[in-house]
Amino acid sequence: MKYDKKWLAEWVMGKPTDTKKAAQELVDGLFDEIVKTMVTGEQVKVAGFGVFKVSRRAAREGINPRTGEKIQIAAKVAPKFRAAKQLKEAVK
């Protein structure tokens, strides 16, 4: 399934926002949907803003800078955001 700006607009369209509380619930719901999508391993693209995705990092060996001792760094999954060109140019 493609998660993009159109998908976000359709999700927002179905939500009533006539009070401050409703608007807050809409914002919270929007971020919850982005998180749920990322939990499944998919990415959310918002044209002109950026891409929210999941980054998988493999286990690796590192060095403790204080002792010089070799240590094992565990594999992990982390959220990642890549800003769109338009956002980068606007922030300059």
| Sign of the C-alpha dihedral computed for residues 24, 29, 34 and 36 taken in this order | positive
- The pLDDT tens digits along the chain (92 residues) read 567 777 777 777 777 777 778 778 888 888 898 899 999 989 999 888 999 999 999 999 999 999 999 999 999 999 999 999 999 999 98
Return d(Cα 5, Cα 79) in angstroms, integer.
19
pTM: 0.69
The domain ranges of the chain are 5-91
Residues 6+ apart with CB under 8 A from 43: 3, 37, 51, 52, 53, 54
Domain 5-91 has CATH 1.20.120.50: no
Q: What is the pLDDT of residue 51?
A: 94
Q: What is the pLDDT of residue 30?
A: 85
Q: Which residue has the tokens 């240590």?
A: 71
Q: What is the pLDDT of residue 6?
A: 79
Q: What is the pLDDT of residue 27?
A: 81
